[in-house]
Amino acid sequence: MGRQVLIIGGGASGMTAAIFAARAGAAVTILEHKDRVGKKILSTGNGRCNFTNRDQRPEYYHCSRPDFPCRVIQQFPFEDTLDFFQGLGILPKERNGYFYPNSNQASSVLDVLRFEAEGLGVRVVTECHVRKIQTVTDGQERNVQKAVAVQEGKIRAAGRFVIETDKGRFRGDALILAAGSKAASVTGSDGSGYEIAKSLGHHIIEPLPALVQLRCREKDYKQLAGIRTEGRIRLYISGQQGPEWKLAAEDRGEIQLTDYGISGIPVFQVSRYASEALHKHRQVKAVIDFLPQLTQEETERLLADRLRRAGAAGVVGYAKTARRESGIPAEDCGTEGRGAEGHGTEGHGTEGCGTGGCGTGSRGRALGQTCEQFMTGLLNKKLCLALLKRAQISANAKTEEIPADRWKSLLRQIKAFETHIIGTNSFEQAQVCCGGVDTAEVNSESMESRLVRGLYFAGEILDVDGICGGYNLQWAWSSGAVAGKAAAGGRQPHAEERRKAPEN
């Protein structure tokens, strides 16, 4: 008979681990504390499930040991993920490298996983709450918690597990812990997996919300709420000692302004850096460029031209002043125009104005325009009004009444809108967590614990987080497949692997 594999957590990684373990001949039981498996999968990709991405790079995955995620993913890469899901019946749909099921329904992804697990005879026990985990050594049941205390983490249990739950006792030769993180606990990942890992002797790197909205200090967000606009966000973190700012991350795409701060995919992409920095009591600020498709000079020319036609003062000479005032180096001030940018999800736009003077088209502009009229058509109307206000320009004033320095200030608001980040939204609103089980205690070849033989990990419970774009699910599928196969095969680490531990 095959090995008995127990899996705690029936999410993306747990379901994948179950399928690969069962395909390798193991008798698999999933213990899931919710009333059904895979709840989080249903909410992914706005209900459409962005399940992987063609563009795979090491820098899209974060971990305290940077090469750990890729060591795992290369054992079950993007191509294997596509084959796997196509084999299960998913017709994939690709958009700019992002993969979704052609049904546009995340439920299809969960359904095919469920059908396959069922077909392979995987037992699923729902509403099952774990009370205690024991290992069996030499025929005796031993409480792992006590053993860890006595042996100070050097435990190498014999590899049989007895799990006591409110639905009875379950025995297994291997245990895969796939209980997720603390993000979106309504879907089941309530952080209890970390406690189980700790009880087995593992260390947890403090979990923090990642892929999450950022809360800002400024008072005018109530006025800004509801605006969605293209932009480039640059996130700066203060130095340990004081005020020098360092660029930590940047991204471009649709930014959403809310009544508490900023959201949208580009904000999510930089949010983990804000989360970590705030946790270390550093200061964090974001600088947003609301016209990322134009360079600083092009924007300056555009405004100068609109002002000329409206009969008001020019804004020439803004750029140098703005850089001096902001304290941000020139290359971070948007003057380079179309330079390298983060992993923007859309609009790596190069559709700037060309060299022929921006906005000098046929649109006639009458003298005596109000500032609101002057801004009309440039950006979202509500945003225009808010930017005018921040620049201390009255929307009803005539353009010719406004002194040149105010126009410089407006240009600065458009190209380098500064906002101070004072927090993130909660774990509940985060899509993933950074932090988790320390990967120094896990073998990347097998996902087996280095502390407890027969214990494996998969998915977000580990200290691995990906950027937005299908990378977190890719991590769940890859780590689940590797853990499932290894747990079923009872693969022991090679002597050489043991010698070279810890990795990195």
Ligand X SMILES: Cc1cc2nc3c(=O)[nH]c(=O)nc-3n(C[C@H](O)[C@H](O)[C@H](O)COP(=O)(O)OP(=O)(O)OC[C@H]3O[C@@H](n4cnc5c(N)ncnc54)[C@H](O)[C@@H]3O)c2cc1C
Footprint of ligand X (CB under 6 A): 8-14, 31-34, 37, 39-40, 43-45, 49-50, 130, 178-180, 183-184, 187-189, 192-193, 431-432, 459-460, 470-473, 476
Q: Which is nearer to ligand X, 210 or 287 (CB)?
A: 210
Cα–Cα distance, 299 to 247 (Å, whole number): 23
**What residues form DSSP beta bridges with 140?**
137
**What residues form DSSP beta bridges with 6?**
29, 175
Q: Which is nearer to ligand X, 332 or 465 (CB)?
A: 465
Q: Which is nearer to ligand X, 211 or 249 (CB)?
A: 211
Which residues in 319-425 belong to E strands, given as ranges?
A: 417-424
Q: Which is nearer to ligand X, 98 or 374 (CB)?
A: 98
Cα–Cα distance, 58 to 167 (Å, whole number): 41
Helix axes 12-23, 471-489, angle to 10 degrees: 30
The angle formed by the CA atoms of residues 468, 473 and 476, to the nearest 5 degrees, is 135
Q: Which helix (H) or strand (E) holds 135?
A: strand 130-137
Structure tokens at 409: 């200030």
Q: Which is nearer to ligand X, 32 or 332 (CB)?
A: 32
CB of 260 to ligand X, least distance (A): 18
CB of 204 to ligand X, least distance (A): 14
CB of 128 to ligand X, least distance (A): 6
Q: Which is nearer to ligand X, 328 or 462 (CB)?
A: 462
3-state helix, strand, coil in the chain (%, to 5): 35, 25, 40
CB of 134 to ligand X, least distance (A): 16
Structure tokens at 85: 């899901």
CB of 343 to ligand X, least distance (A): 13
Bond prior to 101 in cis (omega within 30° of 0): no
Q: Which is nearer to ligand X, 293 or 345 (CB)?
A: 345
Q: Which is nearer to ligand X, 410 or 452 (CB)?
A: 452
CB of 97 to ligand X, least distance (A): 13
Cα–Cα distance, 275 to 166 (Å, whole number): 37
Cα–Cα distance, 226 to 228 (Å, whole number): 6
Q: Are the beta carbons of 35 and 127 closer than 8 angstroms?
A: yes
Cα–Cα distance, 184 to 407 (Å, whole number): 44
Q: Which is nearer to ligand X, 109 or 277 (CB)?
A: 109
CB of 479 to ligand X, least distance (A): 8
Q: Among all chains, which residue has been given the structure tokens 């973190």?
A: 237
State the burial class of residue 425 (Cβ atoms within 10 Å of its Cβ: 0-12, 13-18, 19+).
middle
Structure tokens at 231: 């932009």
Q: Which residue type does 201 have?
A: G
Question: CA–CA distance from 430 to each of 217, 365, 392 (Å)?
Answer: 20, 46, 35
Q: Which is nearer to ligand X, 263 or 472 (CB)?
A: 472
Q: Which helix (H) or strand (E) holds 433?
A: strand 432-437
Cα–Cα distance, 428 to 436 (Å, whole number): 16
CB of 274 to ligand X, least distance (A): 18
Cα–Cα distance, 255 to 214 (Å, whole number): 11
Q: Which is nearer to ligand X, 26 or 176 (CB)?
A: 176
- The b/e string for 53-79 (b: 16+ C-beta within 10 A; e otherwise) is beebeeebbbbebeebbbbbbebbbbe
Q: Which is nearer to ligand X, 180 or 201 (CB)?
A: 180
DSSP reduced 3-state for 118: helix
CB of 487 to ligand X, least distance (A): 15
CB of 183 to ligand X, least distance (A): 6
**What residues form DSSP beta bridges with 28?**
5
Q: Are the beta carbons of 71 and 502 closer than 8 angstroms?
A: no
CB of 272 to ligand X, least distance (A): 13
CB of 484 to ligand X, least distance (A): 12
